[in-house]
Structure 1
Amino acid sequence: MAVTSISRLCLVYGILLPTFGTLLSSFVTANPLQKRVVPERSGFKKVWWEDFTHKDGVSHNWIYDLGTSYPGQVANWGTGEIQTYTKDTNNIRIDNGVLSIIPRKKPSSGRPTWTSARIESNTKNQWACVDGKKMIVEASIKLGSASEAQSKGIWPAFWMLGSVFRDKGYKGWPEVGEWDIMESLNGMRQTWGLVHCGMYDGQIPIRGPCNEPNGKGSYTKGVGRGIWNTFGIEIDRSSKYWKTEKITWLINGVRRHSLSGSDINNATAWDFLVHKKFFILLNVAVGGGFPDGVEGYKTPYLGTIDGEKVGMQVDWVAVYQQN
């Protein structure tokens, strides 16, 4: 969910394609009949988790992001997305321990207006990988089952921002660091895993250690929709040398792609990106630079539907630190 003032179509090109084996292994056929327990991980301690069963609901661990921007910050959440975020149960609710984020549209004399929801973990819930150890952040997510034709401009995301953002706001982006653990666009059977870091001056072409404003990373094809997938990121500081530390994206426990400190090749950017605390965000945006860029036209279309078939469900979210 990066800040950008230009099309991000170039993300489709110039990044590593997954191997054929990776493509095949990304398909999942199992669909749980009941809510699952947040799993344990061998060699790791589960230091925080959210299973959406607390009596206080969403407000127990999360802050609602409301409107079209943070107060006094960049409009349209910095991405050009067009929806207004609410905490209305039409847009966000918990049913049987599963969180649903649901974009809705309202007809108007011009283009329809849209609402949706976005939450971020509160200030008590932010984490950094311990020096010499590994950290994994995962979530069990079901993406909407609607077709691509019905989903143009719908942009679900599971991502994290450096906690310094809460002090600096967008003036600190992308220096504060951003991990896009899972971004889904336009109903595609494909998800992106990217990072943002360093500096960006608002100019073209892409710049800096993280190729801003597009970010650096890759994507995985063949990701099932309308079924549960586990999306995660592993921060590996076990080498104790920044250039050989790694960020790895996981889908259903399978490693998809990685970036190392040497890939970023900027010690200051890597320090913000890997050594400092981050907080979690979950949202479904509508429109914006990323879906527009991939589609090649401004989204959403008049044929884009609203409702649960283009929403996102979250069964659980967890943070693991290596023992």
Structure 2
Amino acid sequence: MQKGLLLLLLISSFYGFSQQTVEDDFEGSGTINNWFGDDCGINTSFTNPFQNGDNNSATVLEYSDSGGQYANIRFDVSDNFNLSTNHTFSFKIYVSSSSLTGSQNNQVSLKLQDGTLAQPWSTQSEIIKTINLNQWQTVTFDFENDSYVNLDPNSAAPTTRTDFNRVLIQVNGENNNDHVVAYIDDFLYDGTIGSGTDPVFDNLIWSDEFNTDGALDASKWHHQTQLPNGTSWYNGEIQHYTNRLENSYIDNGVLYIVAKKETFTDQGQTKEYTSARLNSKVAFTYGRVEIKAKLPTGVGTWPALWMLGQNITEPGGYWEPTHGTTPWPACGEIDIMEHWGHNQNYVQSAMHTPSSHGGTVNLGGQTIPTASTAFHVYALEWTNEKMVFSVDDVEHYTYNPPVKDANTWPFDAPQYLLFNVAILPSIEASFVESSMEIDYIRVYQESPLSVDEESIAELDKVTVFPNPVANELKLKLTNELIGSKVTIYSLLGQKLNSFIVTKEVESKDLSNYKSGIYIVRIESKHGVKAFEILKK
């Protein structure tokens, strides 16, 4: 792990993050509690038989393969790994030559799998490393930079996948009946998993309550009226969109988008229907969108509350002149709500990406018996992992593709909002006029992080000395910090030791540590603080 990344990881929980580390020192302070042996003996609290300066831990994991053809040990995590940022696993291993039979290669492999599959190995990715016998050594598995093997050659690169939730360790290969005993210690993933809870989007960043009668607020909305191909709109729509008050106006705290049957000529084209299409003059990434709306009626009406990538190259769009670089669907489209008059009370949400667009398979919906007679809140929760769609807090669709890349997830960039009522060729002859009514639009994101000033002050009193240190490292803490946990990491992120503070001045013998930079992490009820020290 890079020094800057490690420091960020160690300090992050001080500022309120709740991601879980994936580590185990086999001395009771790890976060992995479901180790399992497949056709292999396993003891997660075995007395270290080779305690020395390379590993002075009292207890380690014993891995005992007494002839199992596919012997391995494994564990699962509650939230899938995201290898796009953090992609390295490491642990210490010791294999004694006296424990071996046969003539297998001296190696250890780390495999990532989807434990929810009936055959979890079917889409696994594996890295194999050579090991030396009769010594403790730290082995790292970097799924971005090391050579890996996908069991299914059609599987994507591991750093583009988010479906891995199982780690499997195998010593000296599989498909053999030879024996091997290995000792493993200080397992560490260089990132974290999950966030404990989903983000809390409670900070209102943009809204329109539509409280001023008349025209829309021009600082917030753009009327998109230009025919994108010079003659018509997409999807066979047969209306003109206008910027007239007849098609969009505010009255008594409600925005009306009115679809009308009327002959109207614009841009050299005469059409028999008019409506409005609005672009928001704000674009954002991630958050919660809430739109309280009542839908129009009539076979052939097609109202939508939706979003497009700010970078779309669409003629007439508000953002196109300044940000347009990417055509649809590569820009990404998020349909928060769509409704078709021929299926009166069914509302749908959908995602359009290069991997599935037009008649997309990425959709879901629900029946709302009063969709056109009462207001309902149509909402989107958008994180860096998934999209969740709901009506009145009843969820009906979640989009969370296991592989997130440009084809499936162009959604780590700003999107803007669109409101419109389209008219399709199937419009019934008796149709005259119908409106989509919107009470409000609100966009929320996470609140800025705050830090308890007293906690900062308490941790600021901690001193770690001498630095550089030759043999004995001392930590001076306040009485308030007695009971805190101290962990020492190598610069690569390997956990080397941990202990609980029992007095205001603690000492730690580092005489067996090699020269180099180490991280000392203090975890307390006041938060976390990390120090960088130099061992001479």
TM range (shorter): 0.5 to 0.7
* Matched pairs, number: 232
Once residues 74 and 197 of structure 1 are traced to their aligned partners in structure 2, the CA distance between those partners, rounded to angstroms, is 25
Q: 1:228 to 1:186 in 2, by over 3 A?
A: same
Residue 281, structure 1, aligned to residue 427, structure 2: no
SS of alignment partner, residue 192 of structure 1: strand
Q: 1:169 to 1:153 in 2, by over 3 A?
A: farther
Contact 1:102 1:306 in 2 (8 A): no
What is the Cα deviation at residue 141 of structure 1?
Answer: 0.2
- Normalised to the residue count of structure 2, the TM-score between the two structures is 0.41
Residue 48, structure 1, aligned to residue 186, structure 2: no
**Correspondence for 2:445:** 321
Q: 1:301 to 1:43 in 2, by over 3 A?
A: closer
The structure that has the greater radius of gyration is 2
Once residues 143 and 80 of structure 1 are traced to their aligned partners in structure 2, the CA distance between those partners, rounded to angstroms, is 21
Once residues 245 and 217 of structure 2 are traced to their aligned partners in structure 1, the CA distance between those partners, rounded to angstroms, is 11
Unpaired segments ≥5 residues, structure 2: 1-198, 265-269, 313-318, 448-536
Residue 137, structure 1, aligned to residue 293, structure 2: no
What is the Cα deviation at residue 100 of structure 1?
Answer: 0.2
What is the Cα deviation at residue 222 of structure 1?
Answer: 3.0
Q: Which amino acid aligns with 1:152?
A: V
**Correspondence for 1:63:** 222
**Correspondence for 1:213:** 358
Determine which of 178, 182, 189 is the counterpart of 2:337: 182
Residue 268, structure 1, aligned to residue 418, structure 2: no
What is the Cα deviation at residue 171 of structure 1?
Answer: 6.5
171-180 or 217-226, which moves further after superposition?
A: 217-226
SS of alignment partner, residue 181 of structure 1: strand
**Correspondence for 1:12:** none
- Normalised to the residue count of structure 1, the TM-score between the two structures is 0.66
Q: Which has the higher strand share?
A: 2
Contact 2:201 2:444 in 1 (8 A): no
What is the Cα deviation at residue 77 of structure 1?
Answer: 2.6
Once residues 325 and 373 of structure 2 are traced to their aligned partners in structure 1, the CA distance between those partners, rounded to angstroms, is 34
Once residues 338 and 201 of structure 2 are traced to their aligned partners in structure 1, the CA distance between those partners, rounded to angstroms, is 28
Residue 90, structure 1, aligned to residue 236, structure 2: no
Residue 306, structure 1, aligned to residue 432, structure 2: yes
Contact 2:291 2:440 in 1 (8 A): yes
Once residues 59 and 164 of structure 1 are traced to their aligned partners in structure 2, the CA distance between those partners, rounded to angstroms, is 21
**Correspondence for 2:396:** 256
**Correspondence for 2:260:** 104
Residue 230, structure 1, aligned to residue 411, structure 2: no
Q: Which amino acid aligns with 1:301?
A: E
What is the Cα deviation at residue 236 of structure 1?
Answer: 2.3
Q: 1:74 to 1:182 in 2, by over 3 A?
A: farther
Q: Which amino acid aligns with 1:267?
A: D
Deviations for 1:120-179, whole angstroms, at most 9, x for unmatched residues?
102xx11002xxxxx1111000113x4xxxx11101110000001144869710000000
Once residues 267 and 112 of structure 1 are traced to their aligned partners in structure 2, the CA distance between those partners, rounded to angstroms, is 41
What is the Cα deviation at residue 42 of structure 1?
Answer: 6.9
Bigger RCO of structures 1 and 2 (CA < 8 A, at least 6 apart): 1
Deviations for 1:186-213, whole angstroms, at most 9, x for unmatched residues?
1510111001011xxxxxxxxxx22x22
What is the Cα deviation at residue 60 of structure 1?
Answer: 2.8
Q: Which amino acid aligns with 1:95?
A: D
Once residues 306 and 47 of structure 1 are traced to their aligned partners in structure 2, the CA distance between those partners, rounded to angstroms, is 38
Q: 1:53 to 1:185 in 2, by over 3 A?
A: same
Determine which of 334, 340, 347 is the counterpart of 1:191: 347
**Correspondence for 2:19:** none
Once residues 42 and 267 of structure 1 are traced to their aligned partners in structure 2, the CA distance between those partners, rounded to angstroms, is 25
Q: Which amino acid aligns with 1:284?
A: V
Q: 1:311 to 1:277 in 2, by over 3 A?
A: same
Once residues 193 and 223 of structure 1 are traced to their aligned partners in structure 2, the CA distance between those partners, rounded to angstroms, is 17
Q: Which has the higher helix share?
A: 1
CA RMSD, 1 decimal: 2.5
**Correspondence for 2:41:** none
